[in-house]
Each structure stands twice: as C-alpha cells, then as structure tokens.
C-alpha cells in the first residue's frame, strides 16, 4: 500500500483509502480487511493510528470488527440502509475534501444566564474556520449524553466538544474517546481520572473573590446554596473556594447554614411546581437561621429563587439580605445580581479551536482555567445592623 503526502492526519488518510476500496468493491461484503498490525506496517504508523482508522470505518458502518478474528466488510453493505449510509458518507467525504469540518457539541442546557455565550463563541469560531457546529442537549441526563455522543459520531463529525452531564460518573462513550485518542474537549468542567483536554473557569479563585467581597461588606454568616455536588468539579471547586476564603480570613465555616440539595434548578426539574416547593424550603431555612446575612448561590437560577423567597418572607434585598452568584443576565429591566461573570465566549472559542488542533495532531494544554470578573449589582450591601 502507498499513500500520497497530505496535511490530513494519518488515521484519516488510512480511513479514506479503505473506505474508497470498500466502495469500489476491492473488498466485498463479508471479506476480511487488513488488521491493525498489517495497516501499521503498510503505512508505517503505530497500531494506535491504524486502530483509529478502523474505528472510524466501524462508526460509519463500513466494517464489523470481530474480536480474535479481525475486521470484515459489513454484510449489509449495498442494502438500502447501507446505500443511505454511503450517501451520507459521500457527503462527509465531499465536506472534508472541501475543507469544511463538522464539530459536534453535547451540553446539558443553556439559557440567558449561562450557556448561550458558550454557544455564541463556538459558532463564531466555526464561522471563522469555515466549519460548522451541530448541537445536542443532554439536559444533564447521562443516558442522553451517551446517546448524543454515539449519534454525532455516526453522523461523521470531525471532533466533539462535551459539556459533561452532572453525575457521579462519566459515561463509557467518553472513555472510548480517550482510549481511541479521538479529538474532543471537555467544557466548563473536567472529569477526575480522565486524561482529556478541558477548558473551564478558575472556579476556586472566582468563589474566593466573591466571598472576600462579602467579608469586606461585614458579612460573616453566609449560607452556601447549591445543587447536589455529585462529583461535579465546577461545584466542588466553588465550594473549595468558599472554604478557602473563610480559612484565610479566620472565619469559621458554619455548614448548618448551607443548603446543598437544591434540585429545582436542574434541567430536568426546572418547572413551576418544583420551583414553588424549593422556595418554601428556602423560606423555612431563612426562618430557622435568622443569623444569615448573605447567600452564596452556585448559579443564577438558585439566586433568583432565593431572591423571590426572601422577598416573599418580608426581607429586603440588599438591606436585610445580600445575594451573590455565578453569572447573571444583563438585560434591560432585569434585576442584576452581584456575580462572577465567566468568559463564556472565550471559553467556547478556545474549545472549538482546540478540537481543530487536536484533529490536526497538535498538542493543547490538558487544562485551561480562565479568570472570572466580579460584577457588582443591586443584590449586595453592608451587613445589617442590630
């Protein structure tokens, strides 16, 4: 076998050569194709590279891999289903030949306070690189995330950006991507024990900055309000920053003031009935802990619930109670919370560009942390007297 020099990664050159040979019937349905070792020797590449080419052929339905036996052209190649797959594959080939890449995005959800800026940054980057972005939401459900990754790979995307679902584990599809060295980047958080490129906010520093600001206003009884952490690194890091700020200022952390099981703001539960129940929980908590003078909400939707619950309890914001959070939409007529503004557009742009770099065989930092900016809004003031 031989190949022409190309700027494309070797695994893609091998994939395209084998795909064309299958389409031209050099290899018939059911016929065995060269193994990882044979391809490695023929193309003078590592078995990891040849394995990746075979996995791409498997994902696009050209071959079936049988452990211990080898890889064989799909018996269904030529059927109506395969014909549709061939048409799609031809479209993928034409798009790649034209230099236009398709990058898949899997994210939990997005809204005014967080997420829309990420998508905007990625879409702008895709436009600048004459490429396209395709989005699928997981709504924070691991099964949806797994299905979305599988579906996008079947569509023949050239790389993936994944905003992992909240959960105690990462799904098997992400682990497969790591093992196969598929070009993908994790967004907003990283996964423990997984060697994958990630881009997120420096959550520890951001949380510390916000809590230190509350200390400067005289607050020392601060309630932390969060969804269940569940090994979600972004939340764990913000909690770590909260604790570090207290330690550095010599203020004792009172965990009895915390609310750590707020679930109404999760994507699958953000409905009026759940929000009303959660507000009642917050009202009860504020009654039971009258010493609380400030709330540290993990994100804007929690801050909004707390704001409504406090107002309905007769508390004034910020005279009686200060509230801070991460992100707050800045639209006309809206109440602007004091918050840490994340660099969403830059995060999205970097994620897209790093996927392209990985696809071209370039190295990228394993972990990129962006600093957030403190924006002072209408929700904070000096601690109440008396």
d(C-alpha 76, C-alpha 30), whole Å: 9
Question: Which own/partner contact pairs does 42-50 have at CB distance under 8 Å and 24+ positions apart?
Answer: 42/1, 43/1, 43/3, 43/10, 43/13, 43/14, 45/10, 45/11, 45/14, 48/181, 49/10, 49/11, 49/14, 50/11, 50/14
Does 80 share its domain with 110? no
Q: Using the structure block, give the residue that is written with the tokens 């398709």.
A: 102
355: domain range?
A: 101-201+344-370
What average pLDDT does the segment 62-70 reach?
A: 80
| Residue 25, domain member (yes or no) | yes
Does 236 share its domain with 302? yes
E strands, 205-351, are 222-225, 294-297, 322-326, 338-341
Spatial contact of 188 and 163, defined as CB atoms under 8 Å apart: yes
Does 119 share its domain with 28? no
Does 215 share its domain with 334? yes
Q: Identify any residues that bridge with 340 across adjacent strands, giving them in sequence order.
A: 326, 374
User: What's the confidence (pLDDT) of residue 224?
Assistant: 97
d(C-alpha 203, C-alpha 340), whole Å: 10
Does 290 share its domain with 214? yes
Does 214 share its domain with 322? yes
Does 84 share its domain with 109? no
| Residue 171, domain member (yes or no) | yes
**240-289 per-position pLDDT tens digit:** 999 999 999 999 999 999 999 888 777 766 678 888 999 999 999 999 99
**70-87 per-position pLDDT tens digit:** 888 887 655 544 444 454
Does 109 share its domain with 219? no
Q: Which of 71, 96, 121 corresponds to the end of one domain?
A: 96
**Is residue 234 predicted with pLDDT exceeding 50?**
yes
User: What's the confidence (pLDDT) of residue 154?
Assistant: 83
| Residue 379, domain member (yes or no) | no
| CATH code assigned at 231 | 3.40.50.2300
| Residue 375, domain member (yes or no) | no
Kindly list the distances between the CA atom of residue 237 and the CA atoms of 200, 233, 323, 365, in Å, as whole numbers in the listed order. 11, 6, 19, 20
Burial of 221 (C-beta count, 10 Å sphere; 0-12/13-18/19+): middle
| Residue 385, domain member (yes or no) | no
| Residue 381, domain member (yes or no) | no
Mean per-residue pLDDT over the chain, rounded: 86
**175-229 per-position pLDDT tens digit:** 888 878 889 999 988 777 777 899 999 999 999 999 999 999 999 999 999 988 7
Q: Which of 58, 78, 96 corresponds to the end of one domain?
A: 96
User: What's the confidence (pLDDT) of residue 84?
Assistant: 42
| CATH code assigned at 15 | 1.10.10.10
Does 190 share its domain with 133? yes
Q: Identify any residues that bridge with 239 across adjacent strands, giving them in sequence order.
A: none
pLDDT band at 332 (very low <50, low <70, confident <90, very high): very low
Structural domain count, the chain: 3
Percent of the residues in the chain that have a pLDDT greater than 70, as a whole number: 87
pTM for the model stands at 0.73
What is the per-residue burial (b if ≥16 Cβ within 10 Å, else e) of 347-381?
bbbbbbbbbbbbbeeeebeeebbeebeeeebebbb
pLDDT band at 4 (very low <50, low <70, confident <90, very high): very low
């Amino acid at each position: 076998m031989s190949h022409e020099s190309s700027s494309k990664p070797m695994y893609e050159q091998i994939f395209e050569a084998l795909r064309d040979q299958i389409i031209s019937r050099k290899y018939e349905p059911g016929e065995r194709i060269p193994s990882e070792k044979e391809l490695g020797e023929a193309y003078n590449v590592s078995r990891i590279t040849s394995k990746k080419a075979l996995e791409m052929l498997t994902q696009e339905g050209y071959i079936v891999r049988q452990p211990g036996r080898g890889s064989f052209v799909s018996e269904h190649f030529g059927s109506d289903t395969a014909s549709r797959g061939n048409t799609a594959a031809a479209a993928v080939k034409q798009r790649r030949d034209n230099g236009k890449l398709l990058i898949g995005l899997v994210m939990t959800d997005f809204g005014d306070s967080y997420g829309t800026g990420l998508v905007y940054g990625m879409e702008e980057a895709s436009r600048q690189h004459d490429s396209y972005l395709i989005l699928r939401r997981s709504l924070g459900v691991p099964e949806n995330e797994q299905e979305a990754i599988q579906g996008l790979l079947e569509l023949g995307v050239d790389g993936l950006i994944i905003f992992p679902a909240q959960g105690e584990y990462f799904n098997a599809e992400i682990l497969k991507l790591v093992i196969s060295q598929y070009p993908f980047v994790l967004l907003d958080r990283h996964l423990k024990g997984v060697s994958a490129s990630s881009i997120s906010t420096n959550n520890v520093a951001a949380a510390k900055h916000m809590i230190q600001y509350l200390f400067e206003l005289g607050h020392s009884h601060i309630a932390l309000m969060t969804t269940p952490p569940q090994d979600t690194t972004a939340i764990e890091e913000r909690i770590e920053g909260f604790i570090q700020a207290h330690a550095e200022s010599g203020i004792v952390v009172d965990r009895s003031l915390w609310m750590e099981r707020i679930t109404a703001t999760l994507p699958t539960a953000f409905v009026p009935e759940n929000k009303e129940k959660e507000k009642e929980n917050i009202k009860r908590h504020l009654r039971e802990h009258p010493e609380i003078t400030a709330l540290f909400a993990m994100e804007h939707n929690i801050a909004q619930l707390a704001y409504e619950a406090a107002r309905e309890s007769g508390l004034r914001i910020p005279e009686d109670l200060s509230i801070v959070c991460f992100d707050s939409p800045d639209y006309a007529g809206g109440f602007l919370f004091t918050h840490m503004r994340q660099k969403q557009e830059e995060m999205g742009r970097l994620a897209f560009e790093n996927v392209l770099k990985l696809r071209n065989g370039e190295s990228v930092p394993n972990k990129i942390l962006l600093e957030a900016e403190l924006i002072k809004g209408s929700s904070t003031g000096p601690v109440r007297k008396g």
